Amino acid sequence: MVISGVVKSQRKQREPATFSESSSNDKETLMGRTQVVFMFAMFLLCAGNVQGQGTRVASGRARDWGARLGKELPLLGHRNWIAVVDSAYPLQTSAGIETVETNAEQLDVVRTVLEELGEAKHVRPVIFTDAELKFVAESDAAGVTAYREALNAVLKGRETQSLPHEEIIAKLDEAGRTFHILVFKTRMTIPYTSVFLRLDCGYWSDEQEKELRKKMAGR
């Protein structure tokens, strides 16, 4: 009887796992693999967030930036900015500044942005250019004379303000702490050629705002 009991015990140890036990093991293996995949995905996500910390950067093909403009323009309003900048323009760290690499010609982007803003009913642009551009010599930057003439033609009939470059950058940096700034980076390699557009309300003028403030002060 003892020998029989030992044989039965040994036979039980050699018996394969039941279906229930096998299924349980498979579930544990699957759960383990799922956790590994989830942890790897979170790692990639965190790495991307660290890489893009501070500003959002989109590297786009030539046709992508126009779609980005069309998508974001309805969301933009008073105190937002759009900037069309040269290739050496710095990547700013204010959280609200989004930089889009267009891989396009600078004047082409300026024309398109102005055309889109011209169609918009809710906003109008206040245009700023670098004061330094007037003083850049052809001998120092080949092509600057032709660029100035072309830019003047594009901006003809539009009110434009000229400010020192660092002063304009400071305005964008300050605005970017609270408001969204859309920066289109181009292939331009001539300095001080960037064009900055601060958006104002398209259906409420500066004169109307002044009159409103006068009325409020007189109450």
Q: Tell me the chain's radius of gyration from C-alpha atoms.
A: 31
Residue 142 lies in a domain: yes
Parent domain of 34: 17-48
Which tens digit of pLDDT belongs to each residue from 81-136? 999 999 999 998 888 999 999 999 999 999 999 999 999 999 999 999 999 999 99
Same domain, 85 and 43: no
Residues forming beta bridges with residue 99, ordered by sequence position: 57, 183
Residue 127 lies in a domain: yes
Q: How many independent structural domains does the chain possess? A: 2
Residue 9 lies in a domain: no
> What does the alpha-carbon distance between residue 152 and residue 75 come to, in Å, rounded to a whole number?
29
168's CB contacts (< 8 A; 6+ apart) are: 128, 130, 194, 196
Which tens digit of pLDDT belongs to each residue from 42-53? 555 554 443 344
Q: What is the DSSP letter of 190?
A: S
Indicate if the pLDDT at residue 71 is higher than 80. yes
Q: What is the largest CA-CA distance in the chain?
A: 112
